[in-house]
Amino acid sequence: MTRVGQPKDSLVAIIGDEDTCTGFMLGGIGHINQKRETNFLVVTKDTPASHIEDTFRAFLKRDDIGIILINQNIAEDIRALIDTHVEAIPAVLEIPSKELPYDPAKDSILRRARGMFSAEEFR
């Protein structure tokens, strides 16, 4: 139970390949709530984009999730949906996978953040 004025605990959700999800699960982010909803999705080559989109939408609607981590190559499969998310919470962060390096040019959230600030503001 949270007290008035105290922030509620938030979870980190992950949409990633098996190695990424396993690493974060070993780090302790795995959670199953009372409705038996998990905060992770392991994506394989057979996972349809519609299932990834449905899971991403479900994570966006949950008030107990504060950050959504997604492998960048998986984010490319649902780029149009990710680009529609403009709220600060949950924050959506694209991360590299074991197989593919991170490419900042593909990260729409980073591009949006760069547009908010100028180089002079950091001098």
| Single-letter code of the amino acid located at 38 | T
Whole-model pTM: value is 0.79
What does the pLDDT read at residue 4?
43
Contact between 92 and 72 under an 8 Å Cβ cutoff? The reply is: no
Structure tokens at 79: 């780029």
Per residue in 16-64, pLDDT (tens digit) is 999 999 999 999 988 888 889 899 999 999 999 999 999 999 999 998 9
Query: Which value, to the nearest 10 degrees, does the dihedral of the CA atoms of residues 78, 79, 80, 85 take?
Result: 100
Count other Cβ atoms within 10 Å, centred on residue 31: 15
Per residue in 89-102, pLDDT (tens digit) is 899 999 988 887 77
Query: Which value, to the nearest 10 degrees, does the dihedral of the CA atoms of residues 32, 57, 12, 28 take?
Result: 40
